[in-house]
């Protein structure tokens, strides 16, 4: 009798865990295609890249800015520091 109840418990338990896993996976992957809007974000560097990974634009401060890219390779480049007063 005890073996039947433990087998039934394991069947119900595994079914419940499978159901919870499917619900969580569906919830995680259903929101991947939605765009997000932010009021404010704080970043140090933003890389804009093509679908193939080619770097097209960098928005950053002086310390994080990349060097010159020649034939797909980054070369070091010392940039002068400018001060803009507003």
pLDDT in tens, 4-13: 678 888 999 9
**What whole-number distance in Å separates Cα of residue 19 and Cα of residue 36?**
28
Nearest to 58 by CA among 38, 50, 66, 82: 66
3-state secondary structure 19-67: HHHHHHHHHHHHCCCCCCCCCCCCCCEEEEECCCCCEEEEEECCCCCCC
User: Is residue 34's pLDDT more than 70?
Assistant: no
Taking the C-alpha atoms of residue 33 and residue 59, their distance in angstroms, rounded to an integer, is 25
* Structural domain boundaries enclosing 34: 2-68
The band of 76, judged by pLDDT with boundaries at 50, 70 and 90, is: confident
Examine residue 36 and state whether it is found in any structural domain, yes or no.
yes
Predicted model pTM:
0.41
Provide the domain count of the chain: 1
Domain assignment present for residue 74? The answer is no
The answer to whether residue 80 sits within a structural domain is no
pLDDT given for residue 22 in this prediction: 95
């Amino acid at each position: 009798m005890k073996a039947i109840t433990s087998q039934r418990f394991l069947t119900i338990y595994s079914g419940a865990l499978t159901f919870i896993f499917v619900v969580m996976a569906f919830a995680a992957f259903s929101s991947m295609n939605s765009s997000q809007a932010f009021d404010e974000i704080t970043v140090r560097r933003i890389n804009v890249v093509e679908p193939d990974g080619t770097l097209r634009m960098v928005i950053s401060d002086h310390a994080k800015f990349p060097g010159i890219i020649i034939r797909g390779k980054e070369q070091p480049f010392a940039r002068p520091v400018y001060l803009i007063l507003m």
